[in-house]
Amino acid sequence: MWTDPTIGLIGYGEVGRILAEDLRAQGVRVVAHDIKLGGPNEGELVDHAARFGVELVSGHAALAALSDLVISAVTASQAVTVAEACAPGLRAGTYVLDFNSASPKAKTEAAALVNAAGGRFVEGAVMTSVPPYRIKVPLLLGGPDAAGLEPLLNGLGFAAKVASDKLGVASATKMCRSVMIKGLEAMVIESFATARAYGVEDAVIASLAETFPGMEWEKLGAYFFQRVIQHGRRRAEEVREVARTVREAGLEPFSAAGTALRQAWVADLADAGVFGAKSAPGFAKSDDWRVEADRILAISKRKDES
């Protein structure tokens, strides 16, 4: 087991901050880097780091040089870029845990960069939403060094399990799951907003409840609208990786491609302020999905009339 490890977080967004809070609660030293540092929107990151005793580092390689374990938790499209940027600073034997929702091919490319620099790359597949579980979110590990990292992670409070010693198995599991989960989010938003436009939402939800009696569609509607409004940009990038995974299997990703478009479309509306300012206390937190659907319909109507 590790003695007084230093954990480096690349990406200090929602996931990075949750991990930082839970690690710092155990007295673990945490250093972090995010591309927003030094920019106009760094205030929230700096404030959070000061509150929890996280050391902010100016660059990827500098962070890697300080760390016994580097956790990459960025947007899916940046997984390989981050591995390349960290590589020059890695000490021999340093673990790099790729938390990103990237395709098996992207994980393999990132692993080659890390391993060539003397590090030990382990792919991580986060198998459900992080906030409810926090550091104990179900996590599948993959790659030749996964078995070595598993007890070290679990000693820090993670809920990690080795999926395979072969790279790509854990990420393929995650990507195939995301075809369904992210697709369901997009379908619920499209179905519920359209039903709201025609005034048939109660009938639609009643029919869904009869067909799938174990699913609480009202709660799912509120949750899906909230999550996509707040994280649609990141989700769209993830689903593009999902589509890449499907395509690399020899299939045309009809569903995944459409899901990515819908997630990005909601993100565009959020960026345009349709759902209110992101800094507002009530942003994307309505208990009734109808509030958000009405906002979507109102902007769509204005576009049609213009």
Q: What is the mean pLDDT of residues 41-53?
A: 94
- Edge to edge, the sheet with strand 29-33 lists 55-56, 29-33, 6-10, 69-72, 95-98, 120-126, 138-142, 159-164
Contact 52, 24 (CB under 8 A): yes
Same domain assignment for residues 161 and 212: no
Residue ending a domain, among 129, 146, 167, is 167
User: Which of 144, 135, 133 has its CA nearest to residue 107?
Assistant: 144
Same domain assignment for residues 162 and 35: yes
In a domain, residue 224? The reply is yes
Same domain assignment for residues 142 and 207: no
Sequence-separated (6 or more) residues with CB below 8 Å from residue 154:
160
Same domain assignment for residues 141 and 17: yes
Give the position of tokens 């404030």.
47
For the entire predicted model, the pTM comes to: 0.87
Considering its fold, how many domains does the chain have in total?
A: 2
Confidence of residue 277 (pLDDT cuts 50, 70, 90): low
Confidence of residue 249 (pLDDT cuts 50, 70, 90): very high
Residue ending a domain, among 100, 133, 167, is 167
CATH code of 212's domain = 1.10.1040.10
In a domain, residue 255? The reply is yes
Contact 99, 9 (CB under 8 A): no
Residue ending a domain, among 144, 167, 190, is 167
Same domain assignment for residues 299 and 214: yes
Tens of pLDDT, residues 149-164: 999 999 999 999 999 9
Same domain assignment for residues 121 and 265: no
Residue 246: how many other CB atoms lie within 10 Å: 20
In a domain, residue 1? The reply is no
DSSP 162: E
Tokens of 101: 């929702």
287 φ, ψ (degrees, to nearest 5): -75, -15
Tens of pLDDT, residues 67-82: 999 999 998 889 999 9
Same domain assignment for residues 80 and 188: no
Question: What pLDDT does residue 304 have?
Answer: 64
In a domain, residue 214? The reply is yes
How far apart are alpha carbons 253 and 246 in whole angstroms? 6
Q: Which domain holds residue 122?
A: 6-167
Same domain assignment for residues 157 and 187: no
Contact 256, 238 (CB under 8 A): no
Same domain assignment for residues 134 and 206: no
Same domain assignment for residues 160 and 234: no
Same domain assignment for residues 231 and 131: no
CATH code of 66's domain = 3.40.50.720
Tens of pLDDT, residues 162-192: 999 999 999 999 999 999 999 999 999 999 9
Same domain assignment for residues 239 and 269: yes
Question: What pLDDT does residue 181 have?
Answer: 95
